[in-house]
A and B are shown apart, each in its own frame.
Chain A
Amino acid sequence: MPENPDSRIPRIGAFVLETLTTGMYTNPLDTLREYVQNSFDAIRDAERDNLLSSGAGRIEISVDKEARNLTLRDNGTGIPVDDVHSRLVSIGMSSKSIQTDAGFRGIGRLAGIAYCKKLVFNTQANGETDTSSVTFDCDELRQAMSPRMKHVKELSDVIGSHATVTTEKTRKKDHFLEVRMEGINEAGQPFLEWKQINTYLCQAAPVGLDTQSFQHAGTIHQWLKDHNISVPMVSITISAGSLSGYQVYKPYLKLTYTTIQEKHKIHVKGIRFFPEDADPHSPFWGWYADTNCPGTFGDDTVGGFRLRKANIGIGMADRMTEIFAEAAESYARFNKYFMGEIHIQDPNVIPNARRDGFEDSSEWAAIRKSLIEFAHERSREAYQLSQARNLDIDRLVGAAEREREAAEKKTLTGLASKEEKGKVLEKIDRQIGKLEAAKRADRKDDERKEIDRAQRELQKTRHAVESETTFAAQNLNPSLDKKQRKIISEIIGILYHVLDEGPFGKARDAILAKYQIPDKEDER
C-alpha cells in the first residue's frame, strides 16, 4: 500500500470494487436486474409523489446488436442535479430504504463496468431544467481495479479519475433515468441477445402475469383482491432489430405443458393458494398450479416454486429446490414438478447482496420452517401421484384383483378373528387408495374404465368383508361342544398371531378340514 497520509482514515484498495461488482453476480444479466430494480424503485417513488399514475411506469430496454449497445430507460423520478454525484458516483451511499425499496445498496449500478467500454447514466429530475450525465470509462476502471495491478490505488481516487459528470440545459420537461452500456464486450454478449434478456427478465423482473394468455391469471388476481394483497408491478419492454417494444410478462402462459422428456402432458387444472387465509400482513403468500404432477416441467422458465420479494425473483427456482431438499433429500427433484410463486411480504426479510437468497433472520427462519413443511406436503403428493402413475395398468389392476380374491377366499373359509378382519380391510383400502391415485394421474380412457371397474369390485368385496360377523371357529362342526369350539377358535387365533400368512393358512385349513362343516362349494 502507498503511504497513508492520515493513518486514522482506513483506505480502500480499488480491487475491492471488482469484488463488489463483477465478483458479486453469477450471471452477467444479474446486472440488468440491478438496473431494473433501481428503475422500479424510481418509478414507485414517482407514483408515491404523484408524478406518475399507478401503472404508468415504463422501463424500456433497447439493444443495438451491431453497435453493441444496450440502453435501459425509465420514467421514474430521475435524479436531481445536486444529488447526481452522491447517488451515481459514490458507492454504497444509496439513500434507499430497506423497507420500501427493492434495491437499496447502491452498488449494483456499477456492475455494468465489467461488460462494456463506457457506462453512461443520463438523468433529469422532475421540475429541473438540466439533464445530468455520468460516464464511467470502464476499460480504465477495469484495469485500475484488477488485483494484478502492481501499485494498488485508492478506490475513491480511481473512481474519481475515471468518472465524468456533465450537465446540460434542456427545455424539455421530463423525468427519467437512462443507463447506457456502450461497446459491450465478449463477456457481455448476453446483453445483446434479446431472447436471453427476455428469458431472464420474465423470471426475475417485477412484471405482471399475462392475463390475455394465462387463463388462470384472473383467478390469482381475484384471490389477491379478495385478500387485499397488492403486488407491485412495472411495464418492461424490449426493442431490438425486428422486435419493437415487446412487453415482458411472467412466463406462465399455458394450460398444458410437457415434462422434460416430453413423455407426459402436464395439465394445469386450477390454482391453489397458501396459506389460504393470507392477508397483507402474512409473512408470505403463494400460488401454485393444480396439476396431474407427472414430472419435471420441460419449460425451464416456469418449473419450480419461485421466491419473490417485492415481486422481484430471488434465486430463480434454486432456493425452493433447497427447501424441498431440506424436507427430505430425495424430495429436491419435486420442486420442479410444480409451477408457482411464493411472495415474501415480511418487511424484515431482506434479500442478500447477490439477491439470490435472504439474509439470515428469525423472520426468514420462521418462513423457511413453514416452507419446508409445505414442501414436504407437496412432495408426498407428487410422490403418491407418481407411484400410481408409474404402475403398469395390468400390474395395478392385477394387484387389486389378487387382493380381492384373497379377501373373498377368506370370507369363504372364514376370517380367523376381528383382528384379521381389520387387517384384510386395511389391505383392501390400500389398494383402493392406489387405484384412486392412479385415476388422478394421466390415464387413457380405457385404462380409466378398467381402474373404475376394479375399484367397484374391490368396494363390493370390502363391503362383504365389513359385514362379515361370523369367524372361522363359528362354522365348526355342531357335533363339537361349546368348550371344544372355543378352544379350536382360540388355537386358530394363536396360530394367526405366531405364524406367517402361508403356514397359518395351511394350518387353519388343516384344522378346519377336520372340524368344520363341509364347505358349500364342495357340495356341487
Chain B
Amino acid sequence: MRNILLVEPDYRSKFPPLGLLKIATYHKGRGDSVSFVRGKDELLRSLHWHRIYVASLFTWELPRTVKTIKYYASSVASPEHIIVGGVGATLLPDYIRKNASCSVIEGPLDKRGLLGANSPPIAEMVPDYGILDTVEYDYQPRDAYFLRITKGCIRSCKFCAVPKLESEFGYLTQVEKQVKGVNRLYGERQNLVVLDNNILAIDGIEERIADIRKMGFECGAKRNGRGRYVDFNQGLDARLISEKPDLARHLASICLSPVRLAFDFASAKMEKSYRKAIELLAGQGFHEFTNYMLFNFNDSPKDFYHRLFVNADLNRNLGVRISGFPMRFVPMSSVKRGFVSDKWRWRYLRGIQCVLLATHGLVSPNPDFIRAAFGDNYEEFLEILSMPDRYIIHREHHRNDGARSWTRSFRKLSDSGKAEFLDALEVLNRSRNKPTDIAAQPRRYKSLFEHYYPDGRVFRE
C-alpha cells in the first residue's frame, strides 16, 4: 500500500483534472491511498509520499507548475517519484525538465506500462470523482459525466495543440460503458459534457449521437424534474454540419445546449460554412449558441470586428442568441501570456480584455450590447480599445469625466501619431521604471498619458 498525492497547481481551471481522477482510480484499484490537493499545502508537503503526480494545463501556467513541482520535491524519496503529465507537459516537456527535477510523461496515458510495469491504459479508466470532495475548489459543472468518445482531430490548424497532443484521429470508448461505469461507482449524474476535439468527424457519428440519446439525453430529457443537457464543450465543426445538413437533425434529437461552434478565421469559405451551419441548426429549433472566436493569431482587429457583426447579423435575422467567446492566441511554445501577433497591438488586446471583463469573457448576443461595447464602426472599435482601462471598464461612470477629453485629444492625432502613441503605451506597460519613463515621453502626448497614468502615477484598477 502506497501513499499517493495528486496535485493540481492552483491555476484557474474550470473542469476537474480528469487525468488525475483516472490516476486516482488506478491507484485505489491497487489498494493505495490517494489524496488530492490544489496548489501548495504545507501540511501535506510535510508528509512522505511514495509518488506525487502533478497535472499541467496551459503552457503559460508552466512557471507556476514548475514552482509547484519544486515545492513538493522534498516530500518524495527521490525526484523521479514526482510525475508530471498533462497538456502543458506534453507541449513543453523540456521546459519542465530544465527547470525542475521530476519524471515527465508526454502524451496521453493510453498505453500499458506508463505508470509502472504492466499498468493498464489509464485513459480508459473511469475518473474517480470522489477525490474532488476533499478540496474546496468549485469545479464546474458539478453534476455531470465527463466523456471522451473520440481522440485527435481530422484538421491540422496551425494554432491548435490537438495535432501535437493527439496526433491520430479515432474512436475511443463506448458512451454506454463510460456512463455506466460512473453510475456504478459514483451514482447517476444530471448532465453530460463531451470533451472531444471534433466528434462530428467520426465515422458513424449518427450512431454515437444515438448512444447518447439512449443514455437518457433525448431532446427535452428530464431527470428528477430538472432538464438535462449535453454539452460538446470543445465545439462542433461548422464545416462538417454545412457539408452534411442531416447532422443538424441528429443533433436535434438530443438535449444539446448550448451549441458551440468555432469561427476562428474570417475566410469567405469559413464564413459561408459557419453561417450555413447556424442556419441549419436554427432550422432544427436550436436557439442558444456559443461561438469560439480565436484572435491574435493570423487575423487582424478588422477580422475580429467583422466576425462580431456576422454574429449580430445572424442573431437578428434568425432570431437566435449567439454569445461570442473570444479566445486570445498564445503560441504553444510560450510560457507567458503576453504574445502580440504582428497584426494586433498590445493596447487593442488589452482593450478587448477590458471590454470582456464585465461579461466574464462573453460577448452578449444582444446587438445593442455589441454596438455599445465595441463601437458603431471599425474606427470607433479601435478608439474604444485604445482608451485607458478604467474608461473602458466603467464606461458610463467616466463618460463625462475624462473620457470626453481623452477622445478629443486622441482624435487630434494623425494615423501615424496614433500608431506612435499606442506603441509608446506598450513600451510603458513593460517598463520596470514607469515614473521615470512616463516623464521621458514626448511633450505632445503628455496630456493623453495623463489619462493612463494620472500625475505620472502607476494606476492600478
Contacts and interface: CB of A to CB of B under 8 A. Distances in A.
Interface residues of B, number: 19
Nearest to A202: B48
A243 B1 contact: no
Contact of B134 (A212, A237, A241, A247): A241
A191 B77 CA distance: 28
Nearest to B48: A253
Interface in B190-206: none
A389 B188 CA distance: 67
Contact of B47 (A241, A245, A246): A246
Interface in A179-233: 194-195, 198, 210, 212-213
A4 interface: no
Contacts of B47: 195, 198, 243, 246
A235 B48 contact: no
A254 interface: yes
Interface stretch (B28-36, B222-230, B326-334, B449-457): B28-36
B134 A235 contact: no
Contacts of A243: 35, 44, 47, 134
Contacts of A246: 3, 33, 35, 47
Interface string B28-71: 00000111110001011011101000000000000000000000
A242 B37 contact: yes
A244 B48 contact: no
Contacts of A213: 48, 50, 77
B402 to A, nearest CB: 48
A247 B1 contact: yes
A244 B35 contact: yes
Nearest to B77: A213
Interface string B1-23: 11100000000000000000000
Contacts of B36: 242, 244
A58 to B, nearest CB: 10
Given A213-B77, A247-B1, A253-B77, A242 B41 contact: yes
Interface string B123-149: 000000001001100000000000000
Best-buried of B43, B50, B135 by chain A (most CB within 10 Å): B43
A212 B50 contact: yes
A327 to B, nearest CB: 33
Nearest to B133: A244
B39 to A, nearest CB: 11
Contacts of A253: 48, 77
B50 A244 contact: no
A194 B3 CA distance: 15
Given A213-B48, A253-B77, A244 B33 contact: yes
A71 B37 CA distance: 23
Contacts of A198: 47
**Majority SS at the chain A contact face:** mixed
Contact of B34 (A210, A244, A254): A244
B135 A212 contact: no
Contacts of B135: 242
Contacts of A212: 2, 50
A241 B35 CA distance: 9
B16 to A, nearest CB: 15
A107 B423 CA distance: 80
A164 B1 CA distance: 39
Given A195-B43, A213-B77, A242-B41, A247 B48 contact: no
B1 A235 contact: yes
B77 A254 contact: yes
A247 B33 contact: yes
A242 B134 contact: yes
B48 A237 contact: no
Interface in B83-135: 131, 134-135
Interface in A9-27: none
Given A195-B43, A198-B47, A210-B48, A242 B1 contact: no
Nearest to B130: A244
A241 B44 CA distance: 11
Contacts of A194: 43
Interface in A226-277: 235, 237, 241-247, 249, 253-254
A66 to B, nearest CB: 12
B131 A244 contact: yes
Given A212-B2, A247-B1, A253-B77, A242 B44 contact: yes
Nearest to B135: A242
Interface string B146-185: 0000000000000000000000000000000000000000
B41 A195 contact: no
A244 B1 CA distance: 13
A396 to B, nearest CB: 34
B447 to A, nearest CB: 54
Contacts of A247: 1-3, 33
Nearest to B32: A247
A249 B34 CA distance: 15
B77 A195 contact: no
A271 to B, nearest CB: 17
A210 B33 CA distance: 14
A237 B3 CA distance: 10
A235 B3 CA distance: 13
A235 B1 CA distance: 10
A207 to B, nearest CB: 11
A195 B46 contact: yes
Contacts of B37: 242
A235 B46 CA distance: 21
Nearest to A199: B46
A78 B44 CA distance: 33
Contacts of B50: 212-213
A244 B33 CA distance: 7
Contact of B35 (A235, A242, A249, A254): A242
A249 B1 CA distance: 10
Interface in A74-129: none
B118 to A, nearest CB: 17
A303 B391 CA distance: 64
Contacts of A244: 33-36, 131, 134
Best-buried of A195, A198, A235, A243 by chain B (most CB within 10 Å): A243
Nearest to B6: A242
Contacts of A241: 134
A308 to B, nearest CB: 21
B33 A237 contact: yes
A241 B135 CA distance: 8
B377 to A, nearest CB: 53
B31 to A, nearest CB: 10
A213 B76 CA distance: 9
Interface of A: 194-195, 198, 210, 212-213, 235, 237, 241-247, 249, 253-254
Interface of B: 1-3, 33-37, 41, 43-44, 46-48, 50, 77, 131, 134-135
Given A242-B44, A254-B77, 13 more contacts: A194-B43, A212-B50, A235-B1, A237-B33, A242-B35, A242-B37, A242-B41, A244-B33, A244-B35, A246-B33, A247-B33, A249-B48, A253-B77
17 contacts: A194-B43, A195-B46, A198-B47, A212-B2, A213-B48, A213-B77, A235-B1, A241-B134, A242-B35, A242-B36, A242-B44, A242-B134, A242-B135, A243-B47, A244-B35, A245-B35, A247-B33
The 4 A-B pairs of least Cβ separation, nearest first, read: A245-B33, A242-B134, A242-B37, A213-B77
